[in-house]
Amino acid sequence: MMSLSLDRSGSSCRRPAAGLLLVLALAVAGAPGDIRAESASEIGVVPHRAAYELRLASGGEAEFIDVSGEMAFEWADSCDGWSVTQRTRMNFEYRTGVSLELGWSLTSWESKDGQQYRFQLKQYENGAITEELRGDATLDGDAGGDEGGMAHYIKPEVQDVELPAGTIFPTTHSFAIVAAAQQGMERLWAQLFDGTTDNGLYEVGAVILPRADDMALAEALDPKMVEGHEGWRVDLAFYEFGSPDSIPTHEQTIWLFDNGIVDRMTLDYGDFTVDGKLIRFEVLPEPVC
């Protein structure tokens, strides 16, 4: 799954935070470590490749007249872990006639026990790299446990970031959301490290609602892929870790099935929102391990 956070105030855009899929300061309904599935097969998640068309939904009237682009997402089983690649491109058309293309890519790997994580993030402006973050992280105990861990960055500069107790990585978070939804939980609070900022830490709140039965599937999705599968609307809010500010840095809504497929999303950047519609989809083959 995907979750998508970066601040680009100069260009009126925040990068979707890494952790697909996939939340508001709400009461804790259960710690991620308590509900984390042991494997994708236990909760029926299907590794896959998907592409989403991005279009301006609301806002932006004061600065730009249109936003368009595409997000490509791949979640693969790499035998000893989960490999996730996310690439996003957005084109901004300003009232002055100026065009600006912003992009970012995140490549990550997470061990299947949720204790190790590697990441590389690149940001682009009109095709040129403007920032790169790279590093790895390790939890000393179980994901979401009381031991915490350490992240080590090698770009943009060498630094270590202490990971507090309760920290989880993005794929573990995705599993936790699906597992929580399957258990009928309506709210989930998590402490997430994804490496997409200089300390990579977020507090993430999720509100999980039943998916409307009459909501049409995206044209690119074979109905048989979700036939008989339960679905939900998940509202996500990402907060800067430890900040007293009650305003999230990024919000998103995803329409999620219990096999991990997201067929549409809405990304809220504060002064404008973007809708994402699934336009290409394929199930990835099982790896030869």
Pairwise pLDDT comparison (96 vs 29), residue with the higher score: 96
Distance between CA 13 and CA 22 in Å, rounded? 18
| pLDDT band per the 50, 70, 90 thresholds, residue 216 | low
> Which pair of structure tokens corresponds to residue 225?
């892929």
- Please state whether the peptide bond connecting residue 156 to the residue before it is cis, i.e. omega within 30 degrees of 0: yes
Selection from 85, 109, 58, 127 nearest residue 275 by Cα: 58
Distance between CA 215 and CA 226 in Å, rounded? 13
Distance between CA 237 and CA 28 in Å, rounded? 14
At 40 the pLDDT is 58
Pairwise pLDDT comparison (221 vs 145), residue with the higher score: 221
| pLDDT band per the 50, 70, 90 thresholds, residue 19 | very low
Distance between CA 133 and CA 156 in Å, rounded? 6
Pairwise pLDDT comparison (286 vs 101), residue with the higher score: 101
User: Given a cut of 90, is residue 131 above it in pLDDT?
Assistant: yes
Pairing of strands 81-94, 64-77: antiparallel
| pLDDT band per the 50, 70, 90 thresholds, residue 16 | very low
Pairwise pLDDT comparison (145 vs 211), residue with the higher score: 211
- Please name every residue paired with 201 in a beta bridge, in sequence order, or none if there are none: 193
Residue 249's SS3 state is: coil
At 41 the pLDDT is 57
Mean local confidence (pLDDT), 178-188: 90
Distance between CA 106 and CA 119 in Å, rounded? 7
At 218 the pLDDT is 76
Mean local confidence (pLDDT), 94-109: 93
Pairwise pLDDT comparison (111 vs 6), residue with the higher score: 111
Q: pTM of the prediction?
A: 0.85
Tell me the pLDDT of the chain averaged across its residues: 82
The pLDDT tens digits of the residues spanning 37-48 come to 345 556 678 899
